[in-house]
Amino acid sequence: MILSITTYMLARQNSSLLTTYLKTICWFTYFLRILYSDFFNYQVTMTIQKRNIMNEFVKALISHEKSSLIPETENLYGCFVGEWDFEWFDNMDAPTPRHVKGEWIFQWILEGLAIQDLFICPSRETRHLSPQADAAYGTTIRMYNPNKKVWDILYTEWGCATLLEAYREGDTIVQTAINNNKLRWVFSDITPNSFRWQRMIKDDKDCWITKAYLTATRK
């Protein structure tokens, strides 16, 4: 009889402990669900906010046409808006000049008052296959200056920045460094679907020597 009572009491105690344990598990699970739900909702909210901020940034930055404040006769860069593939060549004095594939993307910005570009060499597609120690992933902002009748230009990439001015010279676009009159960058052979670009230096005889060039075709 005593053994039966003892067994009964132990069974009730174990049952009570089991019930308490199960209730604890249920409450803990419920708490985790609420915590995860709040965290998930927070992450979703932050993602939406970041996306909205980026959308607003892009909407405020990007323009789809030139501003009427820029005379059409001074519209030097509008013809380049879009995406381009190019073949890059430099080390011209070497037995075998370097040849790298790149990409160039142009877009009107700031209510059509400026053009920004992305200069990527080697291209995103080939940079991992053909890494270059001096690879460029840079950007240029070009804005027409009505007071000087030239384009003010800032090019920047990792570790350097260059200020230039640009003007039309016949069928070419000449870009000169602000602080170095022996450097120039020239767009030439410009068509709706292709162009040539050269980086040039002036030698001791005042002759312009091509140090690098690229030929671009529209995607």
Region label for 105, one of left (φ > 0), alpha (ψ between -120 and 50) or beta (otherwise): beta
Record the tokens describing residue 5, joined without a space. Answer: 């009572």
Nearest CA to 97 among 217, 210, 218?
Answer: 210
Q: What topology is assigned to 72-218 in CATH?
A: Lipocalin (2.40.128)
Whole-number Å distance between alpha carbons of 162 and 175: 11
Which residues are CB-neighbours of 50 under 8 A, at least 6 positions away?
A: none
What residues does each domain of the chain span? 1-61, 72-218
Cβ atoms < 10 Å from Cβ of 202: 14
What is the pLDDT, as a whole number, of residue 130? 85
What is the pLDDT, as a whole number, of residue 21? 58
What is the pLDDT, as a whole number, of residue 126? 93
State how far the alpha carbon of 192 is from the alpha carbons of 84, 140, 167, 171, 200, in Å.
11, 21, 19, 13, 24
| pLDDT tens, per residue, the chain with 219 residues | 444 444 444 445 555 665 665 566 666 666 556 655 555 554 555 555 666 667 888 899 999 999 999 999 999 999 999 999 999 999 988 888 899 999 999 999 999 999 999 999 999 999 998 899 999 999 999 999 999 999 999 999 999 999 999 999 999 999 999 999 999 999 999 999 999 999 999 999 999 999 999 999 999
What is the pLDDT, as a whole number, of residue 9? 44
Whole-number Å distance between alpha carbons of 183 and 171: 19
